[in-house]
Amino acid sequence: METKRQIELNYTQEFKIACKINNLKPEELLQYFIGHVSFYAFIGGNMEAIYLWATTVCIDFKEEYGGEPQSVTDHRIQEISLKYIKKLTALNMDDDVPKTLENYSSVFIMKEWSSEMLPITDYEKQIQTSDGVLLNLTFDFNLVCRMNGTEIQGLLQYFINRVSLARERALNLHQPVKTDPSTAFLLLLISKHESVKNKILPQQEMYKEFATRLLKLDEKQEGESNLENKIRNYNTFYLEWYNALNKNIN
């Protein structure tokens, strides 16, 4: 059996809370994130918002921590990459292509590119976390990481660290200020992605109770001017919800 490279990830409390409340396993959310990183979005292509947010996480990580793109000396890889970047650029510049067709065409081009590139590269198809979870790494994800000079472990940890329901609620409930890409990706995922939004949540009555209490907390927070106090209050609430779920759900 092939041994996969291992990485160590630290699931922050806020990440675990967000996953639990939205009935997702941590590895599920990470896999969805990996699967929505898009090279076409990375070069400015028109993609659905969930792909844009996932890719923005990668761009923000690069801007914050830097990284040098890995040099490519293999002429075959250079020629193949140039061919497909030209195709994607032409697609992006064609204003007459309908959005749905553009999305489909970009995915098709990326599949063609990956079929030519993967046999001659060392891109990892899977990686294992220290707790034994296997994550599948897409061609797009590998490519964006290489273009940014980004370590996979660092990027995934950055995504984890930025997820915060409390901060998102405190910042944007009454007046949109700034959305963090990691949390925006999660919120779009649970509201738009069919396999996630149609999940039957356990303990329906508990969810109704805490949803009602959240709305009441929102009203109380209108009078709180200090952002850190707001975040702290929402954190306390979400932690209580998380603990209640852990106590009542196997």
Beta-bridge partner residues of 134 = 128
**Whether 156 contacts 9, CB under 8 Å:** yes
Q: Above 70 in pLDDT, residue 187?
A: yes
DSSP state, residue 9: -
**Whether 21 contacts 77, CB under 8 Å:** no
Number of C-beta neighbours around residue 101 at 10 A: 12
Q: Above 80 in pLDDT, residue 203?
A: no
- What's the pLDDT band for 4 if we cut at 50, 70, 90? confident
Q: Above 60 in pLDDT, residue 127?
A: yes
What is the SS3 assignment for 229?
A: helix
Q: What is the mean pLDDT of residues 92-100?
A: 87
Q: Which pLDDT score is estimated for 79? A: 95
Instruction: Share the mean pLDDT of the chain.
Output: 90
Q: Above 80 in pLDDT, residue 196?
A: no
Flag the least confident range among 62-66, 143-147, 159-163, 177-181: 177-181
- What's the pLDDT band for 1 if we cut at 50, 70, 90? very low
- Determine the Cα–Cα distance for residues 136 and 140; give it in Å rounded to an integer: 12
Which residues, in sequence order, are CB contacts of 228 under 8 Å at separation 6+?
none
Which residues, in sequence order, are CB contacts of 4 under 8 Å at separation 6+?
124, 126, 127, 128, 134
**Whether 97 contacts 108, CB under 8 Å:** no
Please tell me the pTM assigned to this model.
Answer: 0.92
What residue spans define the domains of the chain?
25-153
Q: What is the mean pLDDT of residues 236-246?
A: 95
pLDDT in tens, 71-80: 788 899 999 9
